A and B are shown apart, each in its own frame.
Chain A
Amino acid sequence: MSIDRKTVDHVARLARLDLSEEERTRMQGEMTAILTHAGKIQELDLDDLEPTSHAIPLRNHMRPDVAGRCLTQEEALANAPKAEDGRFWVPRIVEDSGE
């Protein structure tokens, strides 16, 4: 199993990573290695096995619907690079292709 350059570019774009040429080449190798490793499983006959999303045998874990304490506005905004009127300041939102 190998990953082509186009897939690396696509994944980098999805994660909003600005990777250099060298980094892309390195990622291509690493991603191929990871998928090849995972691909080993494909060699087994698993037709009768349910896909497992979680490894722990725990189900229906919930909390009661009780409201509790929140952060103050000051605490909430403490780490924000910029805030205005009690809100997080974010640069102009550009609708993009999100591909």
Chain B
Amino acid sequence: MSTTASEMYETTVGLEIHVELSTNSKMFCACPVDFGGDPNTRVCPVCLGMPGSLPVPNQMAIEYTMKIAAALHCDIARFHEFHRKNYFYPDMPKNYQISQYDHPIGTKGYVEVTGDFGTKRVGINRVHLEEDTGKSTHVGGSGRIADSDHSLVDFNRAGTPLVEIVSEPDITSAEEARAFVTELRAILESLDVSDVRMEEGSMRVDANISTRLTGAPEYGAKVEVKNMNSIRSVGRALEFEEKRQRKALDDGETLVQETRHFDEKTGTTSSLRTKEFAFDYRYFPEPDMVPFEPDQAWIERVRGSLPELPASKRARFAEIYGLSDKEIQTLTTTSATAGWFEEAVAAYGGEAKKISNWILADLYGLLNESGQELSDGKIAPAQLAALVKLVDDGAISGKQAKEVITVMFETGDDPAKVVEERGLKQVSDTGAIEVFVDEVIAENPDAVEKIREGKDGTLGFLVGQVMKKSRGQANPAMVNDLLRSKIN
């Protein structure tokens, strides 16, 4: 994309995020909320939409949604109610979805996001509560809906509490969209109201993206992008779509309002070729449930129950631990990770930076290989602290510690035990090292001569020889000092 093109056009993105709440039971009935299991085993007359069954809202789901609204700086409604959204689709047994319409729980909030673009506020239009649908499997043909023979429906997921969060169209690039979803995910994670796993579908992101000439009064044709199953996909899909739309306009094409599907493999979007039409959902207040009028005390209680949110946590980490923005960003991705780090720092009692280095440089490499989170791993925070202390005390070298941490990662054993078992103790006993140093000096007269002539670089070679003799167990700093004093 040329500079002129990027100045000529502006991109507008609005995001719609659905989050499944991790309550014990469903939104309007007592069926458990869970993943997996045999199809149609977590269903009852209410979530199957059987005649005569009556929905009763889940108090925890209402409170979780109020909590989300509060964390997103929304106004929390003093009056909210459920509506029926009417349409036909086989994964929705009642032929309407219970949702919220003109009286959602939260409105007019914002999320502050930071990135290479600076810091900006992305407005939150609304936060509302609804129920999830069932899952269809399309049988026959390629397995896609279009050429399938029939479909099979499992209603285990139907009725799971689902929060919809709609952003204002304040996002102007793929990078901002990615930053927004990352921050929103971190906020939701800190609230402990959802698993927020995009890969598993407990957090789903749809984007509306349009392109217009810079300064044009009207937005361009709105394209809805679906099927982005990770934060990375959100960025890739929107980058592709931004370029596609700009090129189309450059080529004199007219963009149309449509829904496009993101293909993870090719990194491209393609039109679903569905006709765009105005749905007529005939929303009307759900007659089976009475409205909500939370009093100020309830709202205040929810606001007061908010945990430390990611932004405050990052500020605190910068202030008390003196870490870089990048380190802080990684260590506060989830509250569990941040908690793990803080526990390790507390157990260590020394410089937080050292703990951070071990986590980011060593543990993360191991975790990435195994696809685990810090808090899922076998190493406890206090064990990492103990390992760093062993290095500080000179009991083992930094290099040996790297070997120890790999073993700890596999076994979950204490570092002292690993050191013992592997015979990794660093030799800091002058006498023992001296024997090796004397041998090396005797065996390498040429090298010794060079050092005496001032070619200091050769010292490293001799240090290496001593380390080899000690099978890596000599304290390198001591080896260095002894060699120097004996040669000169």
Contact among A58, A73, A89 with B290 in the assembled complex (CB-CB below 8 Å) = A58
Check if B90 sits within 8 Å of A93, measured CB to CB: yes
Check if B30 sits within 8 Å of A87, measured CB to CB: no
Check if A65 sits within 8 Å of B23, measured CB to CB: yes
B36-70 interface mask toward A, CB cutoff 8 Å, 1 = contact, 0 = none? 00111111110010000000111111100000000
Contact among A16, A66, A92 with B148 in the assembled complex (CB-CB below 8 Å) = A92
Note all chain B residues with C-beta closer than 8 A to A66: 24-25, 30
Check if A85 sits within 8 Å of B48, measured CB to CB: no
Check if A88 sits within 8 Å of B152, measured CB to CB: yes
Report how far A95 CA is from B23 CA in the complex, Å: 32
Contact among B139, B152, B277 with A97 in the assembled complex (CB-CB below 8 Å) = B277
B358 touches A (CB below 8 Å): no
B199 CB to nearest A CB, Å: 23
Note all chain A residues with C-beta closer than 8 A to B153: 87-88, 90
Report how far A98 CA is from B138 CA in the complex, Å: 20
Note all chain B residues with C-beta closer than 8 A to A62: 56-59, 62
Note all chain B residues with C-beta closer than 8 A to A56: 290
Check if B44 sits within 8 Å of A70, measured CB to CB: yes
Contact among B23, B90, B291 with A53 in the assembled complex (CB-CB below 8 Å) = B291
A86 touches B (CB below 8 Å): yes
Nearest neighbor of B273 in chain A, beta-carbon distance: A95
Note all chain B residues with C-beta closer than 8 A to A60: 290, 292-294
B272-289 interface mask toward A, CB cutoff 8 Å, 1 = contact, 0 = none? 001101111010010101
A14 touches B (CB below 8 Å): yes
A6 touches B (CB below 8 Å): no
Check if B59 sits within 8 Å of A99, measured CB to CB: no
Contact among B41, B90, B292 with A59 in the assembled complex (CB-CB below 8 Å) = B292
Report how far A85 CA is from B81 CA in the complex, Å: 38
Interface of B is mostly: loop
Interface of A is mostly: loop
- Which among A53, A85, A87, A98 has the greatest number of chain B C-beta atoms within 10 A? A87
Q: Which of A1-25 contact B (CB under 8 A)?
A: 10, 14, 16
* Contact A92/B151 with A68-B30, A98-B277 known, Cβ cut-off 8 Å: yes
A91 touches B (CB below 8 Å): yes
Report how far A59 CA is from B290 CA in the complex, Å: 6
Check if A87 sits within 8 Å of B40, measured CB to CB: yes
Contact among A16, A72, A90 with B90 in the assembled complex (CB-CB below 8 Å) = A90
Check if A54 sits within 8 Å of B39, measured CB to CB: no
Note all chain B residues with C-beta closer than 8 A to A85: 39, 152
* Contact A97/B151 with A59-B292, A69-B30, A72-B41 known, Cβ cut-off 8 Å: no
* Contact A86/B87 with A69-B30, A95-B274 known, Cβ cut-off 8 Å: no
B32 touches A (CB below 8 Å): yes
Report how far A58 CA is from B291 CA in the complex, Å: 8
Check if A65 sits within 8 Å of B61, measured CB to CB: yes
Contact among A68, A86, A88, A97 with B38 in the assembled complex (CB-CB below 8 Å) = A86
Contact among A58, A71, A90 with B44 in the assembled complex (CB-CB below 8 Å) = A71
Note all chain A residues with C-beta closer than 8 A to B71: none
Note all chain B residues with C-beta closer than 8 A to A16: 88
Nearest neighbor of A84 in chain B, beta-carbon distance: B152
- Which among A69, A72, A88 has the greatest number of chain B C-beta atoms within 10 A? A88
A40 touches B (CB below 8 Å): no
Check if B88 sits within 8 Å of A86, measured CB to CB: no
Which residue numbers of A lie inside 8 Å of B, CB to CB? 10, 14, 16, 53-54, 56, 58-73, 76-77, 84-93, 95, 97-99
4 new A-B contacts, CB < 8 A, other than A88-B153, A93-B151, are A61-B57, A62-B62, A86-B40, A86-B41
